Homo-oligomer: A and B are copies of this chain.
Amino acid sequence: MSLHQIVHEKVDQAIGVLREKNIDAWITFVRETELMRDPAMSLIVSPTLQVTWHSAFILTQNGDRIAIVGRFDKENIAQLGAYGEVITYDEGIGQPLVDTLRRLNPQSIAINTSEGDPAADGLSHGMWTTLLDILKGTPYSRLISAENVINSLRGRKTEAEIARVKDAVAETEAIFDELTAFLKPGLTEIEIAGLVHDRMRARGLTAAWEPDHCPAVTAGPNSPVGHAAPGAFKAEPGHLLHIDFGVAKNGYVSDLQRTWYLLNPGETKPPAKAQKAFDAVRGAILAGAAALKPGAVGWEVDQAARSTLMRSGYPEYLHATGHHIGQTVHDGATVLGPRWERYGQSAYGVVEAGNIFTLELGVVVSGRGFIGLEEDVLVTPNGLEWLSQPETELICV
The reply to whether A35 and B31 form a contact with Cβ atoms under 8 Å apart is no
A sample of 5 more A-B contacts (CB under 8 A), given A115-B129, A123-B125, is: A32-B118, A35-B118, A90-B342, A115-B126, A122-B124
Q: Is the CB of B341 within 8 A of A91?
A: yes
Which secondary structure dominates chain A's binding surface?
loop
Which of A50, A120, A125: most chain B Cβ within 10 A? A125
- Interface residues in A1-49 by Cβ distance below 8 A to B read 31-32, 34-39
Does A159 touch B at the CB level, under 8 Å?
no
22 A-B residue contacts at CB 8 Å?
Answer: A34-B328, A35-B119, A36-B36, A36-B38, A36-B39, A36-B121, A36-B122, A91-B342, A113-B125, A113-B129, A114-B126, A115-B130, A115-B133, A118-B126, A120-B126, A121-B126, A121-B127, A122-B124, A123-B125, A124-B124, A124-B125, A125-B127
Q: Which of A104-159 contact B (CB under 8 A)?
A: 113-116, 118-130, 133
Interface residue tally of chain A, by bracket? Answer: 35 or more
A99 contacts B by Cβ under 8 Å: no
A residues 326-364 touching B (CB-CB < 8 Å): 328, 330, 341-342
- Indicate whether A227 reaches chain B with its CB closer than 8 angstroms: yes
Q: In whole Å, how far is A1's beta carbon from the nearest beta carbon of chain B? A: 21
Residue pair A227, B72 in contact (C-beta under 8 Å): yes
Residues of B within 8 A of A113 (CB): 124-126, 129
Which residue of chain B is the closest to A41 with respect to CB atoms? B36
Residue from B35, B128, B330 within 8 A of A125 (CB atoms): B128
Chain B residues within 8 Å of A32, by CB:
118-119, 330
A126–B121 alpha-carbon span in the complex (Å): 6
Q: Which of A32, A130, A328 has the most CB of B within 10 A?
A: A32
Q: Which residues between 175 and 222 of chain A lie within 8 Å of chain B, taking CB atoms?
A: 209-210
Within 8 A of B (CB), among A63-119: 72, 90-91, 113-116, 118-119
Chain B residue nearest to A212 (CB atoms) is: B76
Residues of B within 8 A of A127 (CB): 115, 121, 125
Bound-complex Cα distance A209 to B35 (A): 11
